[in-house]
């Protein structure tokens, strides 16, 4: 049984080296060098090349190198019997929580204003009275870690999930009504949902109209969750008052895109939390060994549900 790394837009040399170091027994292949394609049963993929899966008759498992599986679950080239997994370790979730705490706290404490004050030699003592209410769309691994981080700071946390279940201490909502309640209750609305047909375009005019005036929208899910034109119109109306975007429909964000110089937007280039090579190598070996033992891969997803 061979393991193939297929991550054409990333340098996989270090990942391959770490996997080999951990388990020299693994028959490891790195795309585009497939070797005997019939040996490959496990593929570690990120933006996999067009046509790859059709070349692998013995394929059993495809694991995403990251947390998102949206490029895999709706990939018609992956036969229905193939299991899909993902590698989302504790560091990935902790890094996401750190990014979200950083952007929320920077806004809450108005740190950019102090930078301006400093440049103007202005002594402008100020501190906020109340912590912002956090609304989390999605309470999976990243959502739980993020809820815990804000909870630790005594920020009130609300959550939205399909089942309505969520971590202790989080006021949960579900259904369309619940989604609107969450938007209305939040000072900072954070999207951490997986991308599925149900969640595509969920950040739209309807949702924005429920948001608090001057609130902040943060999208760290996928670009396809957001209806871009609706956001631009909503920002003009002040609901939300500003947005922090880390993911985009087209990445890299095209040079002529209106988001670049919008005064109410803060954008980062899909780096809120990036798969760490060391963590990914450890998890990949663990997932591969599980499959060898006849178990499902790590983070196995329900292909029907899409996450």
Interacting residues toward ligand GLV by CB under 6 A: 66-68, 275
Least distance in Å: CB of 13 to ligand GLV? Answer: 20
Q: Give which of 14, 43, 19 is closest to 31, Cα–Cα.
A: 43
Least distance in Å: CB of 248 to ligand GLV? Answer: 11
Q: SS3 for 227?
A: coil
Non-local CB neighbours of 113 within 8 Å, separated by 6+ positions: 124
Non-local CB neighbours of 30 within 8 Å, separated by 6+ positions: 4, 5, 12, 13, 16
Helix (H) or strand (E) holding 64: strand 61-64
Residue, CB closest to ligand GLV: 66
Q: Which residues of 120-144 are buried (b: 16+ CB within 10 A; e: fewer)?
A: eeeeeeeeeeebbbbbbbbbbbbbb
**Catalytically annotated residues:** 222, 270
Toward ligand GLV, which CB reaches closer, 229 or 274?
Answer: 274
Least distance in Å: CB of 61 to ligand GLV? Answer: 18
Least distance in Å: CB of 96 to ligand GLV? Answer: 9
Tell me the backbone φ, ψ of residue 159, rounded to 5 degrees. Answer: -140, 155
Triad 36, 42, 48: Cα angle to 5°: 90
Toward ligand GLV, which CB reaches closer, 211 or 245?
Answer: 245
In the sheet where 61-64 sits, what is the strand order? 27-30, 2-6, 40-45, 61-64, 83-86
| Chain centre distance of CA 291 | 25
Tokens coding 275:
């798969």
Q: SS3 for 223?
A: helix
**Spatial contact of 93 and 304, defined as CB atoms under 8 Å apart:** no
Least distance in Å: CB of 143 to ligand GLV? Answer: 14
Q: What is the DSSP letter of 187?
A: S
* C-alpha separations of 306 from 44, 59, 72, 300, 302 in Å: 18, 20, 9, 11, 6
Toward ligand GLV, which CB reaches closer, 216 or 275?
Answer: 275
Toward ligand GLV, which CB reaches closer, 66 or 143?
Answer: 66
Toward ligand GLV, which CB reaches closer, 109 or 278?
Answer: 278
Least distance in Å: CB of 221 to ligand GLV? Answer: 9
Toward ligand GLV, which CB reaches closer, 139 or 275?
Answer: 275
């Amino acid at each position: 049984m061979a393991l193939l790394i297929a991550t054409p837009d990333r340098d996989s040399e270090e990942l391959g080296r770490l996997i080999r170091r951990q388990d020299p027994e693994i028959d490891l292949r790195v795309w585009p060098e497939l070797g005997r394609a019939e040996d490959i049963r496990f593929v570690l993929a990120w933006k996999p090349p067009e046509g790859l899966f059709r070349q692998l008759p013995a394929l059993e498992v495809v694991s995403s190198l990251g947390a998102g599986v949206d490029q895999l679950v709706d990939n018609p080239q992956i036969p229905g019997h193939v299991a899909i997994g993902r590698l989302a370790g504790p560091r990935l979730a902790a890094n996401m929580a750190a990014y979200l705490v950083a952007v929320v706290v920077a806004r809450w404490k108005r740190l950019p204003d102090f930078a301006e004050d400093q440049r103007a030699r202005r002594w402008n003592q100020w501190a906020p009275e109340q912590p912002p209410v956090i609304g989390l769309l999605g309470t999976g691994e990243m959502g739980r870690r993020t809820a815990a981080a804000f909870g630790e700071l005594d920020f009130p946390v609300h959550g939205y999930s399909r089942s309505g279940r969520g971590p202790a201490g989080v006021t949960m909502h579900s259904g369309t009504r619940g989604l609107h309640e969450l938007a209305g209750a939040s000072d900072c609305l954070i999207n951490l949902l997986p991308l599925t047909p149900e969640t595509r375009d969920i950040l739209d005019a309807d949702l924005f109209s429920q948001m608090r005036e001057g609130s902040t929208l943060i999208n760290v899910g996928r670009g396809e969750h957001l209806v871009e034109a609706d956001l631009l119109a909503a920002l003009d109306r002040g609901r939300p008052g500003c947005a922090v975007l880390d993911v985009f429909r087209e990445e890299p964000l095209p040079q002529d895109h209106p988001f670049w110089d919008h005064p109410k937007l803060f954008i980062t280039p899909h780096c809120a939390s990036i798969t760490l090579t060391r963590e990914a190598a450890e998890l990949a070996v663990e997932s591969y060994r599980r499959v060898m033992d006849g178990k499902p891969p790590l983070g196995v997803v329900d292909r029907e549900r899409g996450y």
